[in-house]
Amino acid sequence: MFDVVISSGVLHHTSSIQQGIEEIRRVLKPNGTFYLMLYLSHPRWIGTKIMRIVGNIIPFSLMRVLLFFLPANKRYNMMDNWYVEYMHVSKRHDVLSMLTGFYDTKEVDRNKPPHNIRVVMKKKPEVEVKL
């Protein structure tokens, strides 16, 4: 069990964001803190979606050579989203609706940057049912 879980730029690269959130909720202590950052629907991702299609044609090794003129950190940062298996972009209301089981949910620096959503929340304590 963990007091704090930080998922920054991870769950949108998994097969299911919802399953990831459920697993985090499972391992987080009651009243534990969860920080989440996901990609948010924004026009910025249009070029990335196009390059993901191009990436199916041009292999990573060739693209790396073609972009030789870019600094390595910028080149690999861009190419990460082009070649990773999963890249989900969510709507704000969909992200917030996935956060059942949490309370005191606050967006951090809303709209900065506008293509990410960052949320901090607490896990609801388990309610013990006595029969």
Residue 19 lies in a domain: yes
Contacts of 6 (CB under 8 A, 6+ apart): 34, 35
User: Are residues 49 and 15 part of one domain?
Assistant: no
CATH code of the domain covering residue 15: 3.40.50.150
Contacts of 104 (CB under 8 A, 6+ apart): 121, 122
- The answer to whether 30 touches 126, Cβ cutoff 8 Å, is yes
User: Are residues 100 and 79 part of one domain?
Assistant: no
Return the percent helix, strand and coil in the chain, to nearest 5.
Answer: 40, 25, 35
Mean pLDDT value of segment 13-34: 97
Name residue 35's beta-bridge partners.
Answer: 6, 120
Residue ranges making up the domain that contains 23: 1-39+89-124
pLDDT per position as a tens digit, 43-89: 999 999 999 999 999 999 999 999 999 999 999 888 999 999 999 99
Confidence at 37, pLDDT banded by 50, 70, 90: very high
Q: Look up residue 86 and give its two tokens.
A: 């999963």
Residue 129 lies in a domain: no
pTM for this predicted structure: 0.86
For the chain, the average pLDDT equals 93
User: Are residues 9 and 70 part of one domain?
Assistant: no
Residue 47 lies in a domain: yes
